[in-house]
Amino acid sequence: MTAIPQERRLVTAVPGPKSLELQARRTATVAGGVGSTMPVFAARAGGGVLEDVDGNRFIDFGSGIAVTTVGASAEAVVRRATAQLADFTHTCFMITPYEGYVAVCEQLAELTPGDHAKKSALFNSGAEAVENAVKIARSYTKRQAVVVFDHGYHGRTNLTMALTAKNMPYKNGFGPFAPEIYRVPVAYGYRWPTGPENCGPEASAQAIDQISKQIGAENVAAIIIEPVLGEGGFIEPAKGFLPALAKFAKDNGIVFVADEIQSGFCRTGQWFACEDEGIVPDLITTAKGIAGGLPLAAVTGRAEIMDAAHSGGLGGTYGGNPVACAAALGSIETMRELDLPAKARRIEEIMKARLATLREKYDVVGDVRGRGAMIAIELVKDRESKEPAAEATAALAKACQQAGLLVLTCGTYGNVLRFLPPLVIGEDLLNEGLDIIEQAFAGL
Ligand SMILES: *Cc1c(COP(=O)(O)O)cnc(C)c1O
Protein backbone atom coordinates (compact mmCIF):
# COMPACT_ATOMS: atom_id res chain seq x y z
CA MET A 1 0.00 0.00 0.00
CA THR A 2 1.27 3.47 0.87
CA ALA A 3 4.82 4.08 2.05
CA ILE A 4 3.84 6.58 4.71
CA PRO A 5 3.25 4.99 8.15
CA GLN A 6 -0.41 5.14 9.12
CA GLU A 7 0.10 6.79 12.48
CA ARG A 8 -0.19 10.21 14.07
CA ARG A 9 3.12 11.62 15.25
CA LEU A 10 4.04 15.07 16.55
CA VAL A 11 7.80 15.66 16.72
CA THR A 12 7.93 19.49 16.75
CA ALA A 13 5.64 22.36 17.66
CA VAL A 14 2.91 22.95 15.06
CA PRO A 15 4.08 24.66 12.90
CA GLY A 16 7.64 23.39 13.17
CA PRO A 17 10.84 25.28 12.18
CA LYS A 18 10.89 24.17 8.53
CA SER A 19 7.26 25.12 8.04
CA LEU A 20 7.96 28.52 9.62
CA GLU A 21 10.83 29.08 7.23
CA LEU A 22 8.64 28.21 4.24
CA GLN A 23 5.90 30.41 5.66
CA ALA A 24 8.24 33.40 5.57
CA ARG A 25 9.14 32.69 1.93
CA ARG A 26 5.47 32.25 1.14
CA THR A 27 4.45 35.54 2.76
CA ALA A 28 7.02 37.35 0.63
CA THR A 29 5.90 35.89 -2.67
CA VAL A 30 2.42 34.30 -2.63
CA ALA A 31 -0.59 36.60 -3.03
CA GLY A 32 -2.35 37.35 0.24
CA GLY A 33 -5.74 36.44 -1.22
CA VAL A 34 -4.74 32.77 -1.29
CA GLY A 35 -5.38 31.39 2.20
CA SER A 36 -4.44 28.12 3.93
CA THR A 37 -6.21 26.25 6.72
CA MET A 38 -3.10 24.64 8.18
CA PRO A 39 0.10 26.48 9.16
CA VAL A 40 2.28 23.54 8.05
CA PHE A 41 3.76 22.65 4.66
CA ALA A 42 3.15 19.18 3.24
CA ALA A 43 5.97 16.75 2.44
CA ARG A 44 4.00 13.61 1.57
CA ALA A 45 0.60 12.07 2.10
CA GLY A 46 -1.20 8.77 1.68
CA GLY A 47 -3.94 6.63 3.19
CA GLY A 48 -5.32 8.63 6.12
CA VAL A 49 -2.10 10.50 6.96
CA LEU A 50 -0.42 13.74 5.86
CA GLU A 51 3.24 14.33 6.83
CA ASP A 52 4.68 17.84 7.04
CA VAL A 53 8.20 19.05 6.26
CA ASP A 54 9.16 18.77 9.94
CA GLY A 55 8.16 15.11 10.11
CA ASN A 56 4.86 15.63 11.95
CA ARG A 57 2.13 13.24 10.83
CA PHE A 58 -1.48 14.43 10.86
CA ILE A 59 -4.59 12.30 10.67
CA ASP A 60 -6.38 13.61 7.60
CA PHE A 61 -10.08 14.47 8.00
CA GLY A 62 -9.99 16.86 5.03
CA SER A 63 -8.79 14.95 1.94
CA GLY A 64 -7.72 18.26 0.37
CA ILE A 65 -11.45 19.20 0.40
CA ALA A 66 -12.97 15.84 -0.56
CA VAL A 67 -10.46 15.19 -3.33
CA THR A 68 -8.17 12.38 -2.20
CA THR A 69 -10.99 9.91 -1.64
CA VAL A 70 -8.66 7.03 -2.57
CA GLY A 71 -5.76 8.59 -0.62
CA ALA A 72 -3.16 11.08 -1.86
CA SER A 73 -0.82 8.48 -3.33
CA ALA A 74 -3.10 5.59 -4.30
CA GLU A 75 -1.19 2.81 -6.06
CA ALA A 76 -3.41 2.62 -9.17
CA VAL A 77 -3.46 6.41 -9.55
CA VAL A 78 0.32 6.72 -9.27
CA ARG A 79 0.93 3.73 -11.58
CA ARG A 80 -1.41 4.85 -14.35
CA ALA A 81 -0.49 8.55 -14.17
CA THR A 82 3.23 7.73 -14.17
CA ALA A 83 2.89 5.48 -17.23
CA GLN A 84 0.92 8.19 -19.04
CA LEU A 85 3.52 10.85 -18.13
CA ALA A 86 6.18 8.75 -19.80
CA ASP A 87 4.07 8.27 -22.96
CA PHE A 88 2.96 11.87 -23.48
CA THR A 89 1.94 14.73 -21.19
CA HIS A 90 -0.36 16.61 -23.55
CA THR A 91 -1.54 16.79 -27.11
CA CYS A 92 -4.77 18.77 -26.54
CA PHE A 93 -7.88 16.65 -27.05
CA MET A 94 -9.23 19.31 -29.42
CA ILE A 95 -6.21 18.73 -31.69
CA THR A 96 -5.22 15.06 -31.35
CA PRO A 97 -7.59 12.95 -29.24
CA TYR A 98 -6.48 10.01 -27.09
CA GLU A 99 -8.13 6.96 -25.54
CA GLY A 100 -7.97 7.98 -21.85
CA TYR A 101 -10.46 10.82 -22.36
CA VAL A 102 -12.94 8.50 -24.06
CA ALA A 103 -12.45 5.84 -21.36
CA VAL A 104 -13.24 8.37 -18.60
CA CYS A 105 -16.42 9.41 -20.45
CA GLU A 106 -17.40 5.72 -20.73
CA GLN A 107 -16.92 5.29 -16.97
CA LEU A 108 -18.97 8.41 -16.27
CA ALA A 109 -21.81 7.13 -18.47
CA GLU A 110 -21.81 3.83 -16.59
CA LEU A 111 -21.49 5.19 -13.04
CA THR A 112 -23.81 8.23 -13.03
CA PRO A 113 -27.53 7.74 -12.27
CA GLY A 114 -29.97 6.74 -15.03
CA ASP A 115 -29.80 4.25 -17.89
CA HIS A 116 -30.47 6.73 -20.71
CA ALA A 117 -27.87 7.53 -23.40
CA LYS A 118 -25.24 9.79 -21.86
CA LYS A 119 -22.32 11.89 -23.03
CA SER A 120 -19.63 13.85 -21.20
CA ALA A 121 -17.20 16.73 -21.67
CA LEU A 122 -14.07 17.05 -19.53
CA PHE A 123 -12.58 20.17 -17.93
CA ASN A 124 -9.94 21.15 -15.35
CA SER A 125 -11.85 22.41 -12.33
CA GLY A 126 -15.22 22.20 -10.69
CA ALA A 127 -16.03 25.81 -11.49
CA GLU A 128 -15.29 25.19 -15.15
CA ALA A 129 -17.62 22.18 -15.17
CA VAL A 130 -20.45 24.24 -13.64
CA GLU A 131 -19.88 27.06 -16.16
CA ASN A 132 -20.09 24.57 -18.98
CA ALA A 133 -23.24 22.97 -17.58
CA VAL A 134 -24.81 26.44 -17.79
CA LYS A 135 -23.57 26.92 -21.37
CA ILE A 136 -24.97 23.53 -22.37
CA ALA A 137 -28.34 24.06 -20.65
CA ARG A 138 -28.75 27.51 -22.25
CA SER A 139 -27.80 26.16 -25.64
CA TYR A 140 -30.29 23.28 -25.32
CA THR A 141 -33.25 25.24 -23.91
CA LYS A 142 -32.61 28.55 -25.71
CA ARG A 143 -33.43 30.15 -22.33
CA GLN A 144 -31.21 32.22 -20.05
CA ALA A 145 -32.30 32.17 -16.40
CA VAL A 146 -30.44 29.94 -13.93
CA VAL A 147 -31.87 29.04 -10.52
CA VAL A 148 -29.59 28.38 -7.55
CA PHE A 149 -30.17 28.08 -3.81
CA ASP A 150 -29.46 29.69 -0.47
CA HIS A 151 -26.18 28.36 0.97
CA GLY A 152 -25.13 27.00 -2.45
CA TYR A 153 -21.50 26.92 -3.56
CA HIS A 154 -20.43 26.46 -7.16
CA GLY A 155 -16.99 28.06 -7.51
CA ARG A 156 -14.94 31.23 -7.77
CA THR A 157 -14.96 32.24 -11.46
CA ASN A 158 -17.16 35.14 -12.50
CA LEU A 159 -20.22 33.08 -13.44
CA THR A 160 -19.83 30.66 -10.53
CA MET A 161 -19.34 33.51 -8.02
CA ALA A 162 -22.78 34.67 -9.10
CA LEU A 163 -24.12 31.15 -8.50
CA THR A 164 -22.46 30.96 -5.07
CA ALA A 165 -24.45 32.29 -2.12
CA LYS A 166 -21.90 33.41 0.45
CA ASN A 167 -20.37 36.89 0.18
CA MET A 168 -17.25 36.56 2.39
CA PRO A 169 -14.78 35.37 1.31
CA TYR A 170 -15.98 34.32 -2.14
CA LYS A 171 -17.56 37.44 -3.68
CA ASN A 172 -16.85 40.53 -1.60
CA GLY A 173 -15.47 43.29 -3.83
CA PHE A 174 -15.26 41.05 -6.91
CA GLY A 175 -18.41 42.18 -8.73
CA PRO A 176 -20.14 42.96 -11.00
CA PHE A 177 -21.56 39.45 -11.26
CA ALA A 178 -23.17 37.67 -14.18
CA PRO A 179 -26.87 38.45 -14.81
CA GLU A 180 -29.87 36.08 -15.01
CA ILE A 181 -29.00 34.19 -11.82
CA TYR A 182 -31.83 33.75 -9.29
CA ARG A 183 -31.56 32.43 -5.74
CA VAL A 184 -34.38 30.61 -3.96
CA PRO A 185 -34.73 28.92 -0.53
CA VAL A 186 -33.25 25.50 0.20
CA ALA A 187 -34.69 22.92 2.62
CA TYR A 188 -32.33 23.47 5.55
CA GLY A 189 -34.09 21.27 8.10
CA TYR A 190 -32.18 22.34 11.20
CA ARG A 191 -32.99 26.02 10.68
CA TRP A 192 -36.45 25.74 9.10
CA PRO A 193 -38.88 27.91 11.13
CA THR A 194 -41.65 25.29 11.34
CA GLY A 195 -39.29 22.38 12.02
CA PRO A 196 -37.48 19.76 9.98
CA GLU A 197 -40.57 17.58 9.43
CA ASN A 198 -42.33 20.35 7.48
CA CYS A 199 -39.23 21.58 5.75
CA GLY A 200 -39.16 19.47 2.55
CA PRO A 201 -42.68 20.26 1.33
CA GLU A 202 -42.71 23.88 2.54
CA ALA A 203 -39.31 24.78 1.14
CA SER A 204 -40.01 23.18 -2.23
CA ALA A 205 -43.37 24.98 -2.44
CA GLN A 206 -41.66 28.30 -1.67
CA ALA A 207 -38.86 27.71 -4.16
CA ILE A 208 -41.27 26.67 -6.91
CA ASP A 209 -43.56 29.61 -6.17
CA GLN A 210 -40.64 32.04 -6.45
CA ILE A 211 -39.44 30.49 -9.69
CA SER A 212 -42.94 30.56 -11.20
CA LYS A 213 -43.92 34.05 -10.04
CA GLN A 214 -40.62 35.94 -10.10
CA ILE A 215 -38.78 34.42 -13.06
CA GLY A 216 -41.35 32.42 -15.03
CA ALA A 217 -40.64 28.72 -15.54
CA GLU A 218 -40.57 29.23 -19.31
CA ASN A 219 -37.51 31.49 -18.93
CA VAL A 220 -35.46 29.05 -16.86
CA ALA A 221 -32.64 27.14 -18.55
CA ALA A 222 -31.34 25.28 -15.50
CA ILE A 223 -31.88 24.55 -11.84
CA ILE A 224 -28.51 23.83 -10.21
CA ILE A 225 -28.28 22.22 -6.78
CA GLU A 226 -25.80 20.29 -4.67
CA PRO A 227 -27.63 17.12 -3.48
CA VAL A 228 -25.71 17.59 -0.23
CA LEU A 229 -24.56 21.21 0.10
CA GLY A 230 -20.81 21.37 0.73
CA GLU A 231 -19.26 24.75 1.55
CA GLY A 232 -22.67 26.03 2.71
CA GLY A 233 -22.57 23.71 5.73
CA PHE A 234 -23.10 20.06 4.74
CA ILE A 235 -26.83 20.65 4.48
CA GLU A 236 -28.84 17.64 3.34
CA PRO A 237 -31.97 19.11 1.73
CA ALA A 238 -34.94 17.76 3.74
CA LYS A 239 -36.61 14.71 2.21
CA GLY A 240 -38.92 15.49 -0.67
CA PHE A 241 -37.22 18.74 -1.65
CA LEU A 242 -34.98 17.38 -4.42
CA PRO A 243 -37.69 15.13 -5.96
CA ALA A 244 -40.17 18.07 -6.01
CA LEU A 245 -37.68 20.32 -7.79
CA ALA A 246 -36.61 17.60 -10.21
CA LYS A 247 -40.26 17.01 -11.10
CA PHE A 248 -40.92 20.73 -11.51
CA ALA A 249 -37.90 20.95 -13.82
CA LYS A 250 -39.09 17.98 -15.89
CA ASP A 251 -42.65 19.34 -16.18
CA ASN A 252 -41.35 22.71 -17.39
CA GLY A 253 -38.55 21.75 -19.77
CA ILE A 254 -35.86 22.98 -17.35
CA VAL A 255 -32.49 21.21 -17.25
CA PHE A 256 -31.98 19.80 -13.72
CA VAL A 257 -28.28 19.93 -12.83
CA ALA A 258 -26.87 18.07 -9.82
CA ASP A 259 -23.59 19.64 -8.72
CA GLU A 260 -21.91 16.55 -7.24
CA ILE A 261 -18.43 18.03 -7.26
CA GLN A 262 -18.10 17.54 -3.50
CA SER A 263 -20.75 14.88 -2.79
CA GLY A 264 -19.95 12.58 -5.72
CA PHE A 265 -17.65 9.63 -6.30
CA CYS A 266 -18.52 7.47 -3.27
CA ARG A 267 -18.25 10.28 -0.72
CA THR A 268 -21.79 9.97 0.69
CA GLY A 269 -21.98 6.17 0.67
CA GLN A 270 -23.25 5.83 -2.88
CA TRP A 271 -21.51 6.64 -6.14
CA PHE A 272 -23.56 9.86 -6.25
CA ALA A 273 -25.58 11.54 -3.50
CA CYS A 274 -28.67 12.09 -5.66
CA GLU A 275 -29.19 8.31 -5.76
CA ASP A 276 -30.43 8.57 -2.17
CA GLU A 277 -33.85 9.82 -3.30
CA GLY A 278 -33.73 8.18 -6.71
CA ILE A 279 -33.04 11.43 -8.55
CA VAL A 280 -31.86 11.12 -12.13
CA PRO A 281 -30.42 14.54 -13.03
CA ASP A 282 -30.35 15.74 -16.63
CA LEU A 283 -26.77 16.91 -16.13
CA ILE A 284 -24.31 16.11 -13.36
CA THR A 285 -21.10 18.01 -12.63
CA THR A 286 -18.18 16.15 -11.07
CA ALA A 287 -14.60 17.04 -10.08
CA LYS A 288 -12.81 16.77 -6.70
CA GLY A 289 -12.87 13.00 -5.95
CA ILE A 290 -12.79 11.96 -9.61
CA ALA A 291 -9.05 11.74 -10.24
CA GLY A 292 -7.26 11.06 -6.95
CA GLY A 293 -5.88 14.58 -6.72
CA LEU A 294 -5.16 15.47 -10.32
CA PRO A 295 -7.16 18.34 -11.81
CA LEU A 296 -10.10 16.94 -13.73
CA ALA A 297 -13.79 17.79 -13.94
CA ALA A 298 -16.73 16.68 -16.05
CA VAL A 299 -20.23 17.49 -17.19
CA THR A 300 -22.19 14.30 -17.88
CA GLY A 301 -25.76 14.06 -19.01
CA ARG A 302 -28.49 13.18 -21.46
CA ALA A 303 -26.96 12.77 -24.90
CA GLU A 304 -29.47 15.09 -26.58
CA ILE A 305 -28.71 17.89 -24.10
CA MET A 306 -24.94 17.35 -24.18
CA ASP A 307 -25.00 17.46 -28.00
CA ALA A 308 -26.92 20.75 -28.13
CA ALA A 309 -23.82 22.96 -28.21
CA HIS A 310 -22.22 23.40 -31.65
CA SER A 311 -18.90 21.70 -32.44
CA GLY A 312 -16.03 23.75 -31.04
CA GLY A 313 -18.35 25.47 -28.53
CA LEU A 314 -17.04 23.43 -25.59
CA GLY A 315 -13.46 22.66 -24.62
CA GLY A 316 -10.25 24.28 -23.46
CA THR A 317 -6.51 23.75 -23.91
CA TYR A 318 -6.06 21.35 -21.00
CA GLY A 319 -9.57 19.94 -20.49
CA GLY A 320 -9.31 16.17 -19.98
CA ASN A 321 -5.51 16.21 -19.78
CA PRO A 322 -4.20 12.68 -20.46
CA VAL A 323 -2.36 12.36 -17.13
CA ALA A 324 -5.46 13.50 -15.23
CA CYS A 325 -7.57 11.01 -17.23
CA ALA A 326 -5.15 8.19 -16.39
CA ALA A 327 -5.37 9.19 -12.72
CA ALA A 328 -9.18 9.17 -12.92
CA LEU A 329 -9.16 5.65 -14.34
CA GLY A 330 -6.87 4.59 -11.48
CA SER A 331 -9.08 6.31 -8.93
CA ILE A 332 -12.27 4.70 -10.29
CA GLU A 333 -10.55 1.31 -10.42
CA THR A 334 -9.62 1.70 -6.72
CA MET A 335 -13.16 2.77 -5.79
CA ARG A 336 -14.60 -0.32 -7.45
CA GLU A 337 -12.01 -2.75 -6.11
CA LEU A 338 -12.22 -1.57 -2.52
CA ASP A 339 -15.99 -0.97 -2.67
CA LEU A 340 -15.52 2.56 -1.38
CA PRO A 341 -19.26 3.37 -1.19
CA ALA A 342 -19.48 0.65 1.48
CA LYS A 343 -16.42 2.08 3.22
CA ALA A 344 -18.12 5.50 3.32
CA ARG A 345 -21.21 3.97 4.93
CA ARG A 346 -19.04 2.26 7.55
CA ILE A 347 -17.29 5.58 8.30
CA GLU A 348 -20.72 7.19 8.79
CA GLU A 349 -21.72 4.45 11.23
CA ILE A 350 -18.61 4.94 13.35
CA MET A 351 -18.63 8.74 13.25
CA LYS A 352 -22.35 9.27 13.82
CA ALA A 353 -22.36 6.98 16.87
CA ARG A 354 -19.52 8.84 18.51
CA LEU A 355 -20.72 12.31 17.52
CA ALA A 356 -24.18 11.52 18.94
CA THR A 357 -22.49 11.11 22.33
CA LEU A 358 -20.91 14.54 21.90
CA ARG A 359 -24.32 16.00 21.13
CA GLU A 360 -25.71 14.61 24.40
CA LYS A 361 -22.80 15.98 26.37
CA TYR A 362 -22.30 19.49 24.96
CA ASP A 363 -25.01 22.09 24.36
CA VAL A 364 -22.79 23.80 21.81
CA VAL A 365 -23.46 20.88 19.44
CA GLY A 366 -26.63 21.99 17.66
CA ASP A 367 -26.78 19.40 14.92
CA VAL A 368 -24.86 16.36 13.70
CA ARG A 369 -25.55 15.56 10.07
CA GLY A 370 -24.25 14.39 6.72
CA ARG A 371 -23.94 11.07 4.93
CA GLY A 372 -21.13 8.61 4.42
CA ALA A 373 -17.76 10.26 4.89
CA MET A 374 -19.26 13.75 4.53
CA ILE A 375 -20.18 14.43 8.15
CA ALA A 376 -20.52 17.71 10.06
CA ILE A 377 -21.29 19.26 13.42
CA GLU A 378 -23.14 22.59 13.47
CA LEU A 379 -22.20 24.62 16.55
CA VAL A 380 -24.57 27.05 18.30
CA LYS A 381 -24.35 29.37 21.30
CA ASP A 382 -27.52 27.81 22.69
CA ARG A 383 -29.96 25.29 21.35
CA GLU A 384 -32.99 27.55 21.78
CA SER A 385 -31.82 30.54 19.71
CA LYS A 386 -29.52 28.45 17.46
CA GLU A 387 -27.26 31.48 17.28
CA PRO A 388 -24.19 30.36 15.27
CA ALA A 389 -21.02 29.80 17.34
CA ALA A 390 -18.32 30.70 14.81
CA GLU A 391 -15.58 31.45 17.36
CA ALA A 392 -16.04 28.12 19.13
CA THR A 393 -15.90 26.38 15.75
CA ALA A 394 -12.62 28.07 14.84
CA ALA A 395 -11.19 27.29 18.30
CA LEU A 396 -12.15 23.62 18.01
CA ALA A 397 -10.62 23.30 14.54
CA LYS A 398 -7.41 24.89 15.80
CA ALA A 399 -7.27 22.62 18.86
CA CYS A 400 -7.68 19.54 16.63
CA GLN A 401 -4.97 20.74 14.26
CA GLN A 402 -2.58 21.37 17.15
CA ALA A 403 -3.22 17.84 18.37
CA GLY A 404 -2.43 16.33 14.96
CA LEU A 405 -5.85 16.10 13.31
CA LEU A 406 -6.57 18.01 10.12
CA VAL A 407 -10.20 19.21 10.16
CA LEU A 408 -11.99 21.87 8.10
CA THR A 409 -14.80 24.30 8.81
CA CYS A 410 -17.59 25.51 6.54
CA GLY A 411 -21.08 27.02 6.58
CA THR A 412 -22.62 30.35 5.68
CA TYR A 413 -22.21 31.35 9.35
CA GLY A 414 -18.74 29.78 9.72
CA ASN A 415 -20.08 27.53 12.49
CA VAL A 416 -19.77 24.05 10.99
CA LEU A 417 -16.94 21.60 11.64
CA ARG A 418 -16.77 19.23 8.68
CA PHE A 419 -15.12 15.86 8.34
CA LEU A 420 -14.07 14.45 4.97
CA PRO A 421 -11.62 11.62 5.65
CA PRO A 422 -10.16 9.68 2.73
CA LEU A 423 -12.34 6.59 2.31
CA VAL A 424 -9.25 4.38 2.63
CA ILE A 425 -8.52 5.59 6.18
CA GLY A 426 -8.03 2.78 8.73
CA GLU A 427 -10.65 2.43 11.48
CA ASP A 428 -8.00 2.85 14.18
CA LEU A 429 -6.98 6.24 12.75
CA LEU A 430 -10.62 7.22 12.33
CA ASN A 431 -11.28 6.47 15.99
CA GLU A 432 -8.13 8.25 17.08
CA GLY A 433 -9.27 11.31 15.13
CA LEU A 434 -12.62 11.15 16.93
CA ASP A 435 -10.77 10.90 20.28
CA ILE A 436 -9.01 14.17 19.41
CA ILE A 437 -12.33 15.83 18.54
CA GLU A 438 -13.75 14.69 21.91
CA GLN A 439 -10.72 16.09 23.73
CA ALA A 440 -11.09 19.38 21.86
CA PHE A 441 -14.71 19.69 23.04
CA ALA A 442 -13.67 18.82 26.60
CA GLY A 443 -11.11 21.63 26.48
CA LEU A 444 -13.48 24.25 25.03
C1 LIG B 1 -15.41 22.75 -4.86
C2 LIG B 1 -16.72 22.90 -5.51
C3 LIG B 1 -16.87 23.58 -6.73
C4 LIG B 1 -15.71 24.27 -7.42
O5 LIG B 1 -14.69 23.39 -7.75
P6 LIG B 1 -13.22 23.97 -8.09
O7 LIG B 1 -12.48 22.77 -8.59
O8 LIG B 1 -12.68 24.51 -6.82
O9 LIG B 1 -13.40 25.01 -9.12
C10 LIG B 1 -18.12 23.62 -7.30
N11 LIG B 1 -19.18 23.03 -6.72
C12 LIG B 1 -19.07 22.37 -5.55
C13 LIG B 1 -20.27 21.71 -4.98
C14 LIG B 1 -17.84 22.30 -4.90
O15 LIG B 1 -17.76 21.68 -3.72
Nearest CA to ligand 1 atom 15: 262
Query: Which tens digits make up the pLDDT trace of 138-155?
Result: 999 999 999 999 999 999
Provide the pLDDT for residue 50: 98
DSSP state of 217: G
Q: Does 132 sit in the ligand 1 pocket, CB within 6 Å?
A: no
* Ligand 1 center from residue 398 Cα (angstroms): 24
* Ligand 1 center from residue 113 Cα (angstroms): 20
Output the CA torsion sign for 18, 19, 21, 26: positive
Provide the pLDDT for residue 336: 98
Q: Model's pTM, two decimal places?
A: 0.98
Q: Does 295 sit in the ligand 1 pocket, CB within 6 Å?
A: no
CA gap 405, 62 in Å, rounded: 9
* Ligand 1 center from residue 154 Cα (angstroms): 5
Output the CA torsion sign for 299, 302, 306, 308: negative
CA gap 103, 439 in Å, rounded: 46
Nearest CA to ligand 1 atom 6: 126
The preferred substitution site among 154, 225, 374 for testing ligand 1, maximizing ligand atoms within 8 Å of CB, is 154
Q: For the chain, what percent of residues have pLDDT higher than 70?
A: 100
Provide the pLDDT for residue 355: 98
Contacts of 146 (CB under 8 A, 6+ apart): 134, 137, 163, 180, 181, 182, 220, 221, 222, 223, 224
Res. 43: pLDDT tops 50? yes
* Average pLDDT, integer, range 214-226: 98
Q: Does 292 sit in the ligand 1 pocket, CB within 6 Å?
A: no
Q: Does 260 sit in the ligand 1 pocket, CB within 6 Å?
A: no
Ligand 1 atom at shortest distance from the alpha carbon of 231: 15
* Ligand 1 center from residue 280 Cα (angstroms): 21
Domains, the chain, ranges and CATH? 17-73+339-442 (3.90.1150.10), 77-337 (3.40.640.10)
* Ligand 1 center from residue 87 Cα (angstroms): 30
How many beta carbons lie within 10 A of that of residue 214, not counting itself? 10
**Strands of 405-406's sheet, edge to edge?**
42-46, 49-52, 57-60, 405-406
Res. 2: pLDDT tops 70? no
The preferred substitution site among 274, 288, 420 for testing ligand 1, maximizing ligand atoms within 8 Å of CB, is 288
* Average pLDDT, integer, range 413-420: 98
Q: Does 293 sit in the ligand 1 pocket, CB within 6 Å?
A: no
Give the model's confidence band at 411: pLDDT under 50 very low, under 70 low, under 90 confident, else very high: very high
* Ligand 1 center from residue 261 Cα (angstroms): 6
Q: DSSP characters for 125-176?
A: SHHHHHHHHHHHHHHHH---EEEEETT----SSHHHHHH----TTTTTT--P
Cβ 225 vs Cβ 277: under 8 Å: no
The helix or strand, by DSSP H or E, that contains position 78, with its residue range, turns out to be helix 75-87
Query: Which tens digits make up the pLDDT trace of 355-404?
Result: 999 999 999 999 999 999 999 999 999 999 999 999 999 999 999 999 99
Ligand 1 atom at shortest distance from the alpha carbon of 152: 13
Q: At what angle do helices 390-402 and 427-442 cross, to 10 degrees?
A: 130
Nearest CA to ligand 1 atom 8: 126
Q: For the chain, what percent of residues have pLDDT higher than 90?
A: 99
Residue 27 three-state SS: helix
* Average pLDDT, integer, range 179-205: 98
Cβ 41 vs Cβ 52: under 8 Å: yes
Query: Which tens digits make up the pLDDT trace of 275-321?
Result: 999 999 999 999 999 999 999 999 999 999 999 999 999 999 999 99
* Ligand 1 center from residue 259 Cα (angstroms): 8
Q: For residue 15, count CB atoms less than 10 angstroms from its CB and return exposed for 0-12, middle for 13-18, buried for 19 or more.
A: buried
* Ligand 1 center from residue 127 Cα (angstroms): 6
* Ligand 1 center from residue 168 Cα (angstroms): 16
> What is the distance of C-alpha 241 from the center of its chain?
20
CA gap 248, 416 in Å, rounded: 31
Provide the pLDDT for residue 3: 82
* Ligand 1 center from residue 286 Cα (angstroms): 9
The preferred substitution site among 68, 134, 153, 163 for testing ligand 1, maximizing ligand atoms within 8 Å of CB, is 153
* Average pLDDT, integer, range 115-133: 98
* Ligand 1 center from residue 307 Cα (angstroms): 24
Vertex 335, ends 334 and 340: CA angle to 5°?
130
CA gap 409, 114 in Å, rounded: 33
Q: Does 66 sit in the ligand 1 pocket, CB within 6 Å?
A: no
DSSP state of 388: B
Q: Does 294 sit in the ligand 1 pocket, CB within 6 Å?
A: no
* Ligand 1 center from residue 418 Cα (angstroms): 16
The helix or strand, by DSSP H or E, that contains position 259, with its residue range, turns out to be strand 255-259
Give the model's confidence band at 1: pLDDT under 50 very low, under 70 low, under 90 confident, else very high: very low
